[in-house]
Structure 1
Amino acid sequence: MAAGDEEIWLDDDAGPLIRPYTVNEGRTHATVRLDMLSLVVATGDPTPEMDPEHVRVLELCHTPISVTEVAAHIRLPLAVTKVLIADLLDRGAMATRVSSPLSGAEDRALLEALLDGLQRL
């Protein structure tokens, strides 16, 4: 790229051209155990030193919302979203309620009910 040319970091069709792991500085594991169904809720307000992604997460979480829904709204992979949420939990800006693990029988029944509902669509 020649001097004076502007770098393009957004492709209208593809979206942002920044790798997701750069959002959380290469960290791949959250400091808190979160699963897809864990509910999170903001307990604090954004601060000036917060990254834009952290602010977006806090803005989404004024009412309890699942980790999966947060990931869908901010359009980032689940693993990246978990790290962002863990950062906010560590700062005390968010609270969580981890869902209870299902037993094998409950898990299978839930999956069968989900499959049945999807087939009806």
Structure 2
Amino acid sequence: MGDSTAGPLVRPYTMTKGRTRPGTDGGRLDLITLVVTVADREDRAREPEHEAILRLCRKPVSVAEVSARLDVPLTVVRVLLSDLLVEGDLRTRAAAPVTKLPEKKVLQAVLDGIRRL
């Protein structure tokens, strides 16, 4: 289907072959999960969307960033990433843990110091 002003349109469900949920490995794909292409992956024909993801993920990239950079809805990206995980083309890495927040009394002391300025 085409649109003279927008160009050719590809519906998201076309990219995922009608699937709306990721496979079994897709359940661990939250917004900050890092995905990275496996260096020794097989050279075989893949869908263009999968190839675009593999090129983008040569260095670790978050799931949210994949969605943003490819301008593809997050739900679709999760399905496509799940496909690549099952095929062994991608690996996931947990995002860096959130550091422990300072205690309230430390934050209060900083705020009091700023107010004195």
**Does the pair score TM above 0.5?**
yes
Report the equivalent of 1:51.
47
Report the equivalent of 1:119.
none
Name the SS for the 2:36 alignment partner.
Answer: strand
Percent identity of equivalent pairs: 43
Q: Describe how 1:1-121 pairs up with structure 2 within 5 A.
A: 9-11=1-3, 13-14=5-6, 16-31=8-23, 32-33=26-27, 34-44=29-39, 45=41, 47-99=43-95
1:42 positional shift:
0.2
Q: How many residues align?
A: 95
Tell me: CA distance 1:69–1:46, structure 2 relative to 1, closer, same or farther (3 Å).
farther
Q: Which has the higher contact order (CA 8 A, sep 6+)?
A: 2
1:97 positional shift:
1.8
Q: Assess if the C-alpha contact under 8 Å between 1:46 and 1:55 holds in 2.
A: no
Name the SS for the 2:64 alignment partner.
Answer: helix
- Runs of at least 4 residues of structure 1 off by over 3 A? 9-16, 44-48, 98-102
Q: Assess if the C-alpha contact under 8 Å between 1:30 and 1:83 holds in 2.
A: yes
Please give the TM-score of this superposition, normalised by the length of structure 1.
0.67
Please give the TM-score of this superposition, normalised by the length of structure 2.
0.69
1:100 positional shift:
8.0
Bigger radius of gyration: 2
Tell me: CA distance 1:93–1:13, structure 2 relative to 1, closer, same or farther (3 Å).
same
Aligned-CA RMSD value:
2.4
For 1:74, the aligned partner's letter is L
Tell me: CA distance 1:15–1:83, structure 2 relative to 1, closer, same or farther (3 Å).
farther
73-82 vs 9-18, which moves further: 9-18
Name the SS for the 1:18 alignment partner.
Answer: coil
For 1:43, the aligned partner's letter is V
